Every structure is written in structure tokens, then in C-alpha cells.
Structure 1
Amino acid sequence: MSKPLVSAQGECAIEGTTRQPAAPWALAGLALSMLLPSLDTSIANTSLPLLAKAFDAPFQQVQWVVLAYLLAITTLIVGAGRLGDLVGRRRLLLVGIFCFTFASMLCGVSGQLWVLIAARAEQGLGAAIMLALTIASVSEAVPRDRIGRAMGLLGTMSAIGTALGPSLGGVLAAAFGWPAIFLVNVPLGVLAFVLVSRHMPRERTADKPASAGFDPLGTVLLAVALAAYALAMTLGHGKFGALNLALLLAAVAGAALFAYAQTQVAAPLIRLSMLRDGDLSAGLAMSALVSAVMMTTLVVGPFYLSRALGLAPLWAGLVLSSGPCVTALSGVPAGRLVDRLGARRTTVLGLIGIAIGTSLLSLSTLWPLGVAGYIGPIVITTLGYALFQASNNTAMMTGVAQGQRGVVSGMLSLSRNLGLVTGASAMAGIFAWAVGSGDVAHAAPTAVAFGMRTTFGVAAALMVLAIRVSARRRLG
């Protein structure tokens, strides 16, 4: 009988992997490796009008500056994690940082739009490697009893990067021109490369899988399926048409072919038996559900604040920044709580916090509390999110065999990305349906308030589902 992926006590399934923790500078290198790809997820969004003007191109072409990056991450992140398990996570992480940094320089000096898009795709490749292997490398950088706070720090870096991206991109583009939004990565990338190369310990040969082998066919099939799904959820500007349906069917077919191919090779990209592990499948499912729910705040919040509460764009932006700020500030304290109480218990606490917060957001439209009625529940929701992220990441990565950490980390990041993509599409659709108008930006305040109440009601129901999944995992 094969050894289970996760032991009952959550211990690493491979013996003899205890090592001397690296210096704190190693964790600093990992933190930068999480910050940079998170920053570039959103840094170019506010500069799309400038890019359209600079390259004299329509928006349909310029939007690929954003899509190329996101698609590269989504389609390649699992393969990057698996390759890291085979060739060494430290070595491949350095390759990813170099690739990301070099591509950032290419983006900044691009003279043609197609060159910029190609460089962004290369940047996405580097980002996929960094995101997959940063979380997987935490156990080499810190002692076991500090993994929770390290995961909390990485969650903080992710939140800071995502929240800071639009504003930093706007400031840099206005002050120095659009190339600056990409060139700012170069010195930070060089610093991350130096920190990781000098301070991250090298892996031992015994830590790598005995049956080393890469699955190129499975990697391609998974990438095609994920690309089709991501495009189906993002193209069409909120309208699900024939093209979206065709892409969704292609994604289903690609997923079926991928699943079949995994049963035919000796060293598959993802062993399907892994998904029968209750801890792993539950962790991935909860990650996707939570990400979809958190996307609701970004989809619905701006319309509610501007239309229902009548806030000016500046004040609406400040209110919206409260959530990311809370996440950034609470990441490390949440990680310390995980180390103290245990990952499984704090996972449930985090989910309960999100459920309470989203329920209050749904009910806030019935109370005459204005902005305070929005900020209070958002704070509760984001505190729960920070606790969930730190605890779920810790539970999954400390219970995984050493030779599988890269691919599991990639699957974890993929579940988060797919949750965000699905949430953006599905929650926007629910909100538009509840508002009852195709032009939500000009809908009546009462209609927008009802849409907010309905959408966050659905979000709270999804969190109840996630709590049930977590309870089953603890019992299983």
C-alpha cells in the first residue's frame, strides 16, 4: 500500500527531512518573491488607457497586456510546482525570479504592443514559478513552530501587492510614463534573487521524488483546459455569449482528456489519487470558495458605495482600501494565532469570521448606518480571510510529503486563482440579475442596495458550505 500524502498528525510523510532553519533573510527573499507577482497582477490595470494611447491600439488589444500575464500564471502554476519538486525548488525559484525580472525589463523597453504582450506572458511564467514555489519553500526557511506566522507574512505580502498595484501603477505612470510600472520590478527582483541565492538552504537529493519524471502531455492538456476556462470567464465584458460557451465546453473537454492522460503515464503531473485525500481536496475546495467570496467585495463594493451611498470616487476608493489594509496588518498576527492554536481550529474560526462578515454586509443595506455599516462588516470579513489564509496554507503545506510540496503549492495557488476568476464572473452575474438592469452603473440606489443584499447573501451561503467542508475534513 502506498504511503498516504498526509499523515493523521499532519507530519511530513518523508522522514529525515529535518534541517537547520535558514537565516531570517531567507524569509525576506520569499516575502519579496510573493510581493512582486502579486503587485503585477493589478499594477497595469490603471495604465491601460495610457497604453492604448501610446501604441495607438483599441482596448480589445491592449487588455491582453493584463490577460497574457494572468493566463500565464493560471495555466503554468501547477506545472511549475511539479517541476520544482523534480529539479529542486530553490534552483527553480531562482530561475523564476530571473525570468520575472528580465521580462519586467523587456516590458519597460518594449516599442511595440505585441512585444509588450509577449514580455508580459514571460513575466507571467516567472510569476507562476515564484507563486508556486514560495509557499512550498517556507519549511526550509523557518522552524516548524513558526510556519504559521511565515504563512501570515506571505499573505500580507500578497495583500499589499494586490492592493498597492493600481495606485502605485497610476502614480508611476503619471510621474515617469508607463514603462516605469514594469521597470520598478527590476531592482526589487535583483534583491529577491540575491536574498534567495545567498540565504535559502540547498535541498538534499533525498528530498526529491524517487520516481522523478515530468509529464509534458498532462501539462499541456491542463494548460489548455485552464486557459479555455479563464477566457470563458473573462471575455465578453460580463455577457456570456456563444464564444464563452464554446470556450467553457473546450475547458470541460480538456479537463476530461487531462484526467484520462494522468491514468496512462508513469509519472503524472497530478496523481488523481491525491484528490481522494480528504485534507487536500477540502483545503483546495475551501480556498476556491473563499476566493470567490472575497472577490464579491471588489465586484459589488464600488457600485454600492457610489450608487447606494452616493460617495465620490475618492472617498469610495478610500473606503474600499480598508479591506486590503486590514488584511495586510493582520497577516502576521493571524499567523501567530495559527502557531498557538493549531491550523485546523483556526481555519474554522477564519471561515466563521468571513460568514459573519458577509452576512452583516448583506443585512447592512437594511440599517441606516451609511459608510460605518459597510466598513465594520468588511473589517470582520477581512480579519477572517487573513486567519483562513494563514491557517489553510499552513495545514496543507505541513501535511504534505517533501517531494510533493511544489505541486500541492501550485494546486493551492491555482484553486485561489480559479476562485477569483469564477467569483468575478458569477458574482457579477448575480449582482446584475438582482439589480435588474443591464446598466448597473446608472441603476437606482434602491436596486443597487437590493443587489448588494442578494449577492452577499449568496456569499454567506457559500461560507456555510465551506464550514461544512472544513468540519468534514476534521472528522475525516
Structure 2
Amino acid sequence: MTRPTGTRDGAVSDLPDDPPWKALWALVLGFFMILVDTTIVSVATPALVEAFDSDVTTVMWVTSAYLLAYAVPLLVTGRLGDLVGPKNVYMTGLAVFTGASLWCALAGTVEMLVAARVAQGLGAALMTPQTMTVVTRTFAPEVRGVAMSLWGATAGVAMLVGPVLGGVLLDTAGWRWIFLINVPVGLVGLVLAARLVPRLRPHARTFDPIGVALSALGTFCAVFAIQEGERFGWGQVWGWVSIPLLLGVGVAVLLAFVAWQAWGASAPLVPLGLFRDRNFTASSIGVSAIGFSMSSAMFPLVIYAQTVRGWSPTESALLLVPQALVSILLARWVGRRINLVQNRLLAGPGFVLVACSLVAFWFVMGPTTPVWLLVVPSFLYGLGSVHVWGPMSTSATRRLPLQRAGAGSGVYNTMRQVGSVLGSAGIAWAMDWRVSVHLPGGLDRTTDGTLTGASADAYTRALGEAMLLPAAVSVVGMVAAFLLVGPDSAGRGLLGRGAGAASGPRQRGAR
């Protein structure tokens, strides 16, 4: 049964009396798919090297190109949803992503595959901010915590499921199915989005082309330098272009972007007033920290399982399953408590558990460690992360006015993605450093290719010590989490004062 309902947009919508859970599940399907693709290729590198008769450096661009194309436009695509409506942008992105997935599966050369992955990343960038915006604008405050917790748990679970799913598909169907599986899922997602996601009224009327150019150039240079620095040895990339130069240009252009947003733009791409909201700033720092931890912690684990223990890609990825299962099972439970307790009492201890689990991995990892002992810290990591994603996501948008929901979602997701890029770069540096300390002469292998006992012990110590880096970053996230305030009703924050005054318990977006 439906009835006319006043919306937070000031429009009237004929929507169901229940919160729009079906719309959330439609969005989560697409969101899950694009995040799985950030990690699913990580276990396919050897297969791609063999399939294209290429080298590891070239094949690594299959992952790097996607991450770059995903991260760079997020600030712009968040604002684009405000300009033309989040549903329109989401469905466009999903169509691009689905078509690019088919292109990836049919690629005949590694260069074509990299180009298709760029298209995939652009589609993902169009989609991601819109999912968060729709949740913010369609769920009433009393149920938004559960919705955001499911949204946040999707982000955490997807990054863990990627290597598992990739390993299974590689072992059973071949590398092309890593991408081909997205096609039917994307088509189903398009149908569900068309039928179930509400058509929200655009807020913005103007765009900021100078801000777009500055943010894209600055983000690309900075993210590329951080992401690829270890691969290029922090030296030359092309001719006189070096990693330090790109990083310097990126930082300088981003500073110019901030100055333009503060004093030059009439309709800023990123309203700097967003950061006057304590919750938004703390949540943005926190989501960067959990993104860093999530992307960095899995690499030493997978390498340890495959190189030291000799497990297959599927077997090694199963180490991540306890984390994913705990996140899935507890997401709704955590979401129901977001409006009942102080969010810092959920996210703060969550970060503590994440840090402790990473220290525990360092402590227990060994060439002959029983599997059950490795499962314990994996379980603790999932228990901690599920208490972080939902409260952080809810707190980020809790007190933002609706006209800034798209910009806020873009910034928040950019911070998450930048954290992931920093994590990938940081763990590569940490592993290289600790391996050079423990194995200055390199790995010693037996005639059958397995590591010698001494080499396996030293390599394991190096990988375990590298995991202390994401543990330390998790402490930064803990500090940010304990700065959160709330719960309180939407619209009472520094930015949202009065924004929610006219909103009743059935706040929804208009079709």
C-alpha cells in the first residue's frame, strides 16, 4: 500500500510506507560488483602473464588502470549526481561497467585489456557516490543506520570476496570468467535499478569546470605517483618525468584546487564547509584508515599462504573467508545499534580489534602454524571492521544538508579509495623493506622450487612485520573514530541546522 509522502527534497512522492529496502538491495548488487573488481584480478596475475605472453610489470597495469580510473573522477561524479540526479548517473555507470566487463573478457591483447579496465573504472566511479547519496536521501534517520551499515559492510566484504572468487574462477573456468561473470549480474542490476531505485530530484544547477580540471589532474598525478612509486623505484617513469615530480605536481595542483574551492568557485565542486562538520571530517579520516588496512593486510597474507605454505590461489584466499562471514552476519546487528549508542563506542573499539588482529597475525604466522590459529585473527579482523564501516558511513552524512549529499558522498568515497591506494603502495614498500632486512641475499629455494627452512622462517617474519604498518594506521583510525559525536537527529549539525526540521519519520526521495 502506498500513500503520498513528504520528502526531504520538498517534493511529494507516492512511495511505499516501508523504507526503500528493495532499492538498497538493487544498489548494493552493483556496488558489490564494482568493489569485487578492485581485488579479484590480484590472484590472476600469473595466469594473465601466461595468457598474453607478457611480463609482470605490464600485467600489473590491469589492476592499476582500474584503480586509477576509479579513484580520479570520484569528486566529480559525486557532484554530477547532484546535477542530473543520482539514479541517472548510477545507471549510466552500471551500463558502462557492464559493457566494459564484456570488453575485458573478449580482450585479445594485454593493451586492450588495460583499456577495457580503464572503462570499467570510469563506470565504477560514476556508480559509487550515487549509492551512498540514495541511502542518505531515502532512508529516515531511525533506519538509516541499518542501511548504512549494510552499505559499509558491502564495501568490506567485497574487497575480501574478490580474491576468493577470483581463485575459484581461475581454478575452474579460466581468467576470462573473472570479467564475464559481471555481464549477467550487471544486466540484472540495471533492471532492478530501473524498477526499484527512486528518481531523486537534482539539487545543483551549475558545475565547476575549473574545479573539475584541477581535481582530475591533481588526483591523477598524486594517486599515480603513490600507487606506482614502488614499481618504478621512485625514479623515472617516462623520459624526464619522475615519480617525485608527479607527486609534487599532484600536491601543488590539489592545493590550487582547494584554494579555488575556497575563494574562486561560485558553485564549488567540494564545498569546504563539509569539513566544518566534525563527524564528516573524522569519518573521512577513519574510512581512509580502514581502506588502507583492508587493501594492505590481504597482500602479505595471500603471499604467505602461496609462497610459504604452498597453497593454491583458492586455498590461500580462504584465509579471508572468516572476515567476510563475520561482516555479513553482524552488519544488521551493528546497524540497529547505530542510533542507540554513541557511534564512537562502535567504531573506536572496532578499530582496536582491527589493530589487534593484525598484530596477532604478526605474532602467530609461521611456516607450520596450524590453520585454526590463523583463523582466529581473521575472525577478529572481521569483527572489528564490521563495527567500523557502518558507523563511519552513517556519521559522515548524518548532519549534512541534502543539497550537499552528492558532494559529501564523492569526498567520502574518494577518501576511502585514496586510503586503499595508499595501503597498496605502503604495504609494497614495507614488505620490500623487511625482506631486504631479513633476506639480504634473496630467497633460497630447493630443487623443487619450495623455500628452504631458513628462508621460509625469515620470509614469514618479514611479511608479519609488514602487517604492523596497517596496524599502526588503524590506530590513527581509532583516534578519528573516538572523535565522532552522535547519534542525534539529522539536521542538527554545523552544516545541517534546520535542514531536517520539516522531515518526519517517513523521509524519502521523490521518484
Q: Do Structure 1 and Structure 2 share a fold, with TM-score over 0.5? A: yes
Gaps of 5+ in 2: 1-7, 237-241, 445-453, 487-493, 495-511
Per-residue CA distance 1:402-452 (angstroms, 9 max, x = gap): 121122112112111111221222233234434414677657455445545
Closer, same or farther: CA 361–282 of 1 in aligned 2, 3 Å: same
Counterparts of 1:124-163 in structure 2, within 5 Å, are 124-163=121-160
Closer, same or farther: CA 362–72 of 1 in aligned 2, 3 Å: same
Structure 2: distance between partners of 1:220 and 1:439: 47
Closer, same or farther: CA 168–471 of 1 in aligned 2, 3 Å: closer
CA-CA distance at 1:171 after TM superposition = 4.2
Per-residue CA distance 1:12-42 (angstroms, 9 max, x = gap): xx78579755543212211112111012222
Closer, same or farther: CA 363–215 of 1 in aligned 2, 3 Å: same
Structure 2: distance between partners of 1:459 and 1:123: 28
Which residue, out of 90, 94, 102, partners 1:93?
90
Q: Indicate the RMSD between aligned Cα atoms, in angstroms.
A: 3.1
One-letter amino acid of the counterpart of residue 384, structure 2? G
Partner of 1:224: 217
Closer, same or farther: CA 171–301 of 1 in aligned 2, 3 Å: closer
- 1:419 paired to 2:430: no
CA-CA distance at 1:84 after TM superposition = 0.2
Structure 1: distance between partners of 2:297 and 2:53: 34
- 1:45 paired to 2:42: yes
Structure 2: distance between partners of 1:15 and 1:201: 12
Which of 141-150 and 123-132 deviates more?
A: 141-150
Counterparts of 1:274-353 in structure 2, within 5 Å, are 274-304=274-304, 311-314=309-312, 316-353=316-353
Which of 395-404 and 466-475 deviates more?
A: 466-475
CA contact 1:440–1:448 (8 Å) conserved in 2: no
4+ residue stretches of structure 1 with deviation over 6 A?
none
Per-residue CA distance 1:166-197 (angstroms, 9 max, x = gap): 34344445655543332221221121111111
Closer, same or farther: CA 138–17 of 1 in aligned 2, 3 Å: farther
CA contact 1:225–1:250 (8 Å) conserved in 2: yes
Closer, same or farther: CA 298–147 of 1 in aligned 2, 3 Å: same
Structure 2: distance between partners of 1:473 and 1:304: 36
Structure 2: distance between partners of 1:136 and 1:439: 52
Give the TM-score normalised by structure 1: 0.84
- 1:241 paired to 2:235: yes
Partner of 2:272: 272
> Percent identity at matched positions?
28
Partner of 1:116: 113
CA-CA distance at 1:82 after TM superposition = 0.7
Structure 2: distance between partners of 1:354 and 1:126: 31
Which of 463-472 and 435-444 deviates more?
A: 435-444
CA-CA distance at 1:270 after TM superposition = 1.0
One-letter amino acid of the counterpart of residue 252, structure 1? V
Closer, same or farther: CA 23–108 of 1 in aligned 2, 3 Å: same
CA contact 1:80–1:128 (8 Å) conserved in 2: yes
Helix, strand or coil for the counterpart of 1:266?
coil
Structure 1: distance between partners of 2:456 and 2:348: 35
One-letter amino acid of the counterpart of residue 470, structure 1? A
Partner of 1:202: 199
Q: Greater helix percent: which structure?
A: 1
Structure 1: distance between partners of 2:39 and 2:464: 27
Closer, same or farther: CA 402–451 of 1 in aligned 2, 3 Å: same
CA contact 1:155–1:328 (8 Å) conserved in 2: no
Partner of 2:449: none
One-letter amino acid of the counterpart of residue 160, structure 2? A
CA-CA distance at 1:127 after TM superposition = 0.6
Structure 2: distance between partners of 1:296 and 1:45: 12
CA-CA distance at 1:56 after TM superposition = 4.3
One-letter amino acid of the counterpart of residue 301, structure 1? L
Structure 1: distance between partners of 2:19 and 2:186: 20
Closer, same or farther: CA 448–338 of 1 in aligned 2, 3 Å: farther
CA-CA distance at 1:291 after TM superposition = 2.1
One-letter amino acid of the counterpart of residue 341, structure 1? V
CA contact 2:157–2:328 (8 Å) conserved in 1: yes
CA contact 1:152–1:390 (8 Å) conserved in 2: yes
CA-CA distance at 1:326 after TM superposition = 2.9
One-letter amino acid of the counterpart of residue 475, structure 2? V
Per-residue CA distance 1:343-363 (angstroms, 9 max, x = gap): 343222322322333344454
Partner of 1:8: none
Partner of 1:79: 76
Aligned residues: 456
Gaps of 5+ in 1: 1-13
Structure 2: distance between partners of 1:105 and 1:304: 33
Per-residue CA distance 1:62-100 (angstroms, 9 max, x = gap): 332222211111001111111001111112111111121
Closer, same or farther: CA 221–174 of 1 in aligned 2, 3 Å: same
One-letter amino acid of the counterpart of residue 165, structure 1? G
CA-CA distance at 1:275 after TM superposition = 2.5
CA-CA distance at 1:241 after TM superposition = 3.0
Closer, same or farther: CA 373–59 of 1 in aligned 2, 3 Å: closer
